[in-house]
Homo-oligomer: A and B are copies of this chain.
Amino acid sequence: MTYELYYWDGIPGRGEFVRLALEQAGADYVDVVRSDGGMARMMALMKNKTAGFVPFAPPFLKDGDILVSHAANILLYLGEKLGLAPRDEAGRIEANGLQLSITDFVVEIHDTHHPIGVSLYYEDQRDEALRRAENFIEERLPKFLGYFEKQLVRNSEGQIHAVGDMLTYVDLSLFHLVEGLRYAFPKAMTAAEPGYPLLVALNAQVRELPRIKAYLASERRLAFNEEGIFRHYPELDRA
């Protein structure tokens, strides 16, 4: 069965955390909205008035009759099937907890450019964004990066992994977090990275995985831009 990933076209966004897992596993999937008639299919699912469950927002995944919403929930669902989740229950629960901390971090990253409302343009909340981004770079960025770094320190023996002794979807998501932060806040990240050597090494390690490397070089990988979560507004960045 082909997995159907539903997510907006044009941005990596929250869908990217799922794409990376599907790509690393070499899974059979279709990025629905990027295929012919895909946008209409996504809208039809989201406006369904009779089905039992409709997702609040993309991304969501369809696997036959199973409909899974939220990146963390999708990764929890796919993790075992794709061989990208720990084999033991405690590890799977831990992986989901770490992924939910990534989710929390992603909200805060997004809100640096949208602190007042998602319906407003960035330009209409720029003053508040300047203040929020300053607080983010001073306090939240080191808090989250420090948390994930410590998790890698506590866990890793030899190979660098977030959970257990194998590659999991959490590692792929941490790779993407660092990528996105480098795009959005190059000055802050250049200054910060020496403090997080395992996160930096994990990023480099994931980038060299053959399937990830091929994916990153393909047209399936969308570039970061100022429509997504990780946006580069130079005025929000600082060392």
Identify the A interface with B (CB < 8 A).
49-56, 60, 65-70, 72-73, 76-77, 89-90, 93-94, 96-98, 100-101, 103-104, 107, 111, 115-117, 119-120, 125, 128, 131-132, 135-136, 139-140, 144, 147, 150-151, 154-155, 163
Copies in the complex: 2
Q: Determine the residue in chain B with the shortest Cβ distance to A66.
A: B90
Given A147-B56, A154-B50; A69-B100 close (CB under 8 Å):
yes
Tell me whether B132 and A100 are in contact (CB under 8 A): no
State the main secondary structure of chain A at its contact with B.
helix
Tell me whether A128 and B115 are in contact (CB under 8 A): yes
CB distance from A53 to the nearest CB of B (A): 5
Chain B residues lying within 8 Å of A94, measured Cβ to Cβ, are 52-53, 67
A49 to B60, CA, bound (A): 36
Chain B residues lying within 8 Å of A60, measured Cβ to Cβ, are 97
Chain B residues lying within 8 Å of A116, measured Cβ to Cβ, are 115, 128, 131-132, 135
